[in-house]
């Protein structure tokens, strides 16, 4: 089924906002690594090191705006997928926590975000394929 003009506009707006958020994140990340790491301890260093979170917050804002623009079906699909991915991420990271107590290497908290993004993509893919198979 072809996407409507509204769906194309919504998708384009989402991609533009998300790309802007990632650009802000990338620029601030490079700047925080370059300038924040060598700074003396203190509040200015903390603020510089946390500055990439501005891009992260912009990405969350883009996602929230996207959810507000899409129709009820897609909103429900995405929110259910996010919930399932969050549960999967919680299970995986909690399980790895037990493995760390058995001597596995400590994992950076950055890994949780990567797992959540991957789990969200996996859940959306599996649910989409499942729906297509159900409609045949």
pLDDT in tens, 60-70: 999 999 999 99
Give yes or no: residues 54 and 3 share one domain: yes
- 110 token code pair: 């950055």
Give yes or no: residues 39 and 92 share one domain: no
pLDDT at 135: 85
Give yes or no: residues 66 and 89 share one domain: no
Mean pLDDT of 28-43: 96
Give 93-127 pLDDT, tens digit per residue.
Answer: 999 999 999 999 999 888 898 999 999 999 999 99
pLDDT at 1: 52
Q: Are 85 and 116 in contact (CB under 8 A)?
A: yes
Query: Helix, strand, coil: what percent of the chain each, to 5?
Result: 80, 0, 20
For 3-30, b where at least 16 C-beta lie within 10 A, e where not — what string? eeeeeeebeeebeebbeebeebbeebbe
Q: Are 15 and 59 in contact (CB under 8 A)?
A: no
Which range marks the domain in which residue 90 is found? 71-136
């Amino acid at each position: 089924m072809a996407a409507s003009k509204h769906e194309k506009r919504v998708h384009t707006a989402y991609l533009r906002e998300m790309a802007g958020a990632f650009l802000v994140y990338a620029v601030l990340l490079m700047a925080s690594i370059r300038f924040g790491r060598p700074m003396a301890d203190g509040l200015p260093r903390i603020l510089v090191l946390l500055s990439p979170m501005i891009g992260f917050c912009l990405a969350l804002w883009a996602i929230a705006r996207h959810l507000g623009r899409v129709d009820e079906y897609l909103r429900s699909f995405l929110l259910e997928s996010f919930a399932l991915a969050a549960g999967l991420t919680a299970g995986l990271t909690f399980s790895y926590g037990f493995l760390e107590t058995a001597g596995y290497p400590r994992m950076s908290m950055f890994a949780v975000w990567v797992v959540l993004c991957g789990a969200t993509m996996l859940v959306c893919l599996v649910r989409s394929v499942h729906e297509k198979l159900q409609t045949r």
